[in-house]
Amino acid sequence: MKSFFFGRQRHQLQRNLLRWCAVATILPIISACGSGAFGLKTPPPRCPEVLLLKHANSVTYFKPGPGRDITDVLATAAIVDFRGECEYNRKRTKVNIVLNVEFDVRRGPADRTKATDFRYFVAIPKFHPAPQGKSIFPMRAQFRGNQTRLNLLDEVRLEIPMPPFPKVDDYTIYMGIQLTPQQLEYNRLHANRTLRR
């Protein structure tokens, strides 16, 4: 099977204010962004939905050791926004999606390197367990001078093969930060503590 991932483009910007997404259990971003009718009598299917996984929307890195206090934080990275658009080919046998992802990366008090590396994933369970079902993309934030916060933008292009009259819900796309089991557990515990406050 041909991989549905075929390209990405990275940008780095600095902004004073970011718009944070309110994340529920899963957050639908792309809904109906179809293209023209291509001469067919019926309109094209809607775009596949893109969902941000609740506990995989951020990561916190700590310096080596047992400490998990704010003073032990090396860096945090979070997906704060994403948007996309899609277009079906003339025969509607595939859909091309352009997905733009925005990250907020912050230096922690324990950082001395002024650089943070993290990874995020885009996955379509429909293709699991084939390798084409998930791609992981590396990101690097390089802080300069006294910078403590960076805004990163990344662009991913997807090409998804479709059968005639597809069930678009079968091609839902999931996205999140690639986490270790320990990082995922930290996110869950941190979310629970926030809810109890």
pLDDT score for 194: 55
Total structural domains in the chain?
A: 1
Q: Edge-to-edge, what's the strand order for the sheet holding 149-161?
A: 5-13, 149-161, 94-107, 73-88, 58-62
Boundaries of domain holding 183: 5-196
- pLDDT, one tens digit per residue, over 95-146 is 999 999 999 999 999 999 999 999 999 999 998 888 888 999 999 999 999 9
Written as tens digits, the pLDDT of the chain (197 aa) is 334 554 455 444 433 333 222 222 233 334 334 444 444 567 888 999 999 998 999 999 999 999 899 999 999 999 999 999 999 998 888 999 999 999 999 999 999 999 999 999 999 999 888 888 899 999 999 999 999 999 999 999 999 998 888 889 999 999 999 999 999 999 999 887 654 44
